[in-house]
Amino acid sequence: MTEECAICRNNKEFQMPEALISAAIEGNLVLFCGAGISTENKMVLPYSFYDSIKKELEIEDDAHSFSQLMEKYCKKPDGRKKLLNRIRERFQYINSFPELERQATAFHRELADIYQIRTIITTNWDTYFEEYCGATPITIPEDFSFWDDNSRFVLKIHGSINNLSTIVATTKDYRKSYNALQKAC
Could you give the CA distance from residue 152 to residue 17 in angstroms, rounded to a whole number? 23
End-to-end CA distance of the chain: 57
For residue 97, the one-letter residue type is F
Q: Given a cut of 90, is residue 68 above it in pLDDT?
A: yes
Q: Which of 5-9, 94-98, 158-162 shows the lowest mean pLDDT across its residues?
A: 5-9
Residues in the chain: 185
Residue 7 is predicted with a pLDDT of 66
Residue 64 is predicted with a pLDDT of 96
The model's pTM is: 0.88
Strands across the sheet with 136-138, in order?
Answer: 30-33, 119-122, 153-156, 136-138
pLDDT, mean over the chain: 91
Residue 13 is predicted with a pLDDT of 83
Return all residues near 85 (Cβ < 8 A) that are at least 6 apart.
Answer: none
Mean pLDDT value of segment 22-38 = 91
Question: Can you point out the beta strands (E) in the chain?
Answer: 30-33, 119-122, 136-138, 153-156
Residue 142 is predicted with a pLDDT of 83
Q: Which residues pair with 121 in a beta bridge?
A: 32, 155
Return all residues near 74 (Cβ < 8 A) that are at least 6 apart.
Answer: 80, 83, 170, 172
Span 69-107, pLDDT tens digits = 999 999 999 999 999 999 999 999 999 999 999 999 999
Higher per-residue confidence, 145 vs 93: 93
The number of beta carbons lying within 10 Å of the beta carbon of residue 175 is 11
Residue 141 is predicted with a pLDDT of 81
Span 174-185, pLDDT tens digits = 999 888 877 766
